[in-house]
Amino acid sequence: MLAGPYCGMLLADLGAEVIKIEMPPGGDIARSTGKHRIGDSTTYFASLNRGKKSVALDLASAEGRAAFHALVATADGVITNLRPGAIRKLGLDYATLGAVNPRIACLALTGFGLTGPYADRPAYDYIIQAMMGLMALTGDPGGTPTKTGYSVVDNSAGIMAALGLVAMIHGGKGGQADVSLYDVMISQMNYLAADYLNAAEVPQRQHSGSHPFFVPAQIFATADGHLAIFISHDRFWQVFCDAVGQPGWKVDPAFATMAARDANRVPVLAALSALLRGRTTQEWVDLLEPVGIVIAGVSTLDHALDSDLTRARGMVVDIALDDGTLRLVGSPILIEGSSPDYRRAPRLGEHTAHLAGQTAGRPHAV
């Protein structure tokens, strides 16, 4: 529903011709997912499928498979976002498609991989977050394990899949790539995993989202909201102490070094919390940002989308529809000398006749 479509959309934004194969009669379930519609599409579907073409094929039929193979014959890659059993049953793996096009790069984006004891288990973002430790690390100690505020697993896996497919296509040899949601998220545990694997240290939830060893690096309450501060080494700590009028903290044995602040986390954070409640969020940002402290007020998505920064970066784009304008978040990959060709998401089967026809004729390009 999200990982595969997001992967394809990233590639479409970068100029690839991306053909979305949908099973009739209803196509992608995302076409009916979400509360809001703009034109003939839900905003959920539009946000993941802009710039693509849609071909409606019944891959369980001989005619549908023949039309699909005709597309594969001139394609660079195939992305699948199904369970391994369905991938093999429908012949969407390299073992089948390599006979049609030996240079085809086949990428299977699954929950738990093409092999292994969980291969054919269903998986969603929520389940992966629960299984690989992310929920257990999110939220305050003693509270309920918490999911992230957005689909971090699906989006991360989509990005990784796009990278893997481009690497395979660049290699030019064809073959089968295996990217799973579970593996992607385990890989993103990097330094936390390394501490456990090499020192048997099990990561724990920290109060206010604090970093496991940088202090201060967390969320603090202010007089009117919340503030995120990240001080990663002692030179910045010294600058911070001078700016907030606490020069004694630079030499206090419990405060002076990163190791000391980590060892004395409770009293250090108590002192900082009392200090930071004394001014508003914006007052602290105005004081500390100019001297190089990494700091930001805790904002909401609506404020971020409407901000001068988002506007300056061109990260909200307008897409013309037949009966209005659709506003979406743009591509995060900006390449000098080119710009994404933002187009609306396709209607179900909109390009079937043009690209696949009624028989298995060769497409123009894929």
Cα-Cα end-to-end distance for the chain? 22
Element counts in the chain: helices (H) and strands (E): 16, 12
CB atoms within 10 A of CB 109: 27
154 is catalytic: yes
Integer CA distances (angstroms), 210 to 142, 215, 217, 234, 356, in order: 15, 8, 6, 17, 53
- Confirm if 281 and 225 have CB atoms less than 8 A apart: yes
Catalytic residue among 28, 154, 178, 183: 154
**How far is it, in rounded angstroms, from Cα 163 to Cα 155?**
13
Q: Please name the amino acid found at residue 78.
A: V
Nearest to 228 by CA among 148, 296, 274: 296
What b/e readout covers 29-61, taking b as 16+ CB neighbours within 10 angstroms?
Answer: ebbeeeeeebbebbbbbbbbbbbbbbbbbeeee
The total number of residues written for the chain in this structure: 366
Nearest to 134 by CA among 122, 117, 151: 151
Nearest to 23 by CA among 100, 80, 77, 96: 80
Within 13 A of 278's CA, how many CA atoms are on the CB side? 8
- Confirm if 261 and 268 have CB atoms less than 8 A apart: yes
DSSP code for 102: T
The pairing of beta strand 37-38 with beta strand 19-22: unpaired
Nearest to 19 by CA among 143, 35, 11, 275: 11
**How far is it, in rounded angstroms, from Cα 342 to Cα 15?**
10
**How far is it, in rounded angstroms, from Cα 65 to Cα 86?**
14
- For the annotated catalytic residues, the residue numbers are 154
